[in-house]
Structure 1
């Protein structure tokens, strides 16, 4: 009976190691073989970094309470 309890307690620990999946990306000839991630300025602003930074700056200025209130 004690052996059965011990095996029942040990079984989840043994199975936990079996469920590990491969999490590393695939590499072919030393290069990443997957979808290339597009930067936000490439996706939304046609690779115009200055327009991207201007949009970020405008958004940050609108969140500034000192700029939103009337003195």
Structure 2
């Protein structure tokens, strides 16, 4: 009798676990108010690190990419 109970309890426990696993899903997307994003606006890197100078930021990124390129760093 106990083995029959164990056989029946396993699928029941599995069904309860699977049915409750979807209950913890939280909303992933922020709300929209009047067609606009209602969350915190994230500043861009050029705004915080380069005082809103896009040209300087782009030059720094390009220089960094060139320094990481082994073909440009090596002197053949």
TM-score where L is the length of structure 2:
0.78
What residue is the counterpart of 1:57 in the other structure?
62
Deviates more, 1:50-59 or 1:27-36: 27-36
Shift of 1:59: 0.6
What residue is the counterpart of 1:41 in the other structure?
46
Q: Give me the whole-angstrom Cα distance separating, in 1, the residues matched to 2:11 and 2:75.
A: 72
Q: Give me the whole-angstrom Cα distance separating, in 2, the residues matched to 1:66 and 1:3.
A: 66
Larger Rg, first or second structure (1 or 2): 2
Q: Give me the whole-angstrom Cα distance separating, in 2, the residues matched to 1:65 and 1:57.
A: 14
Shift of 1:7: 1.3
- The CA RMSD over aligned residues, in Å, is 1.5
- Alignment length, in residue pairs? 71
Structure 2: where are the runs of 5+ without partners?
A: none
Over 3 Å off, 4+ runs: none
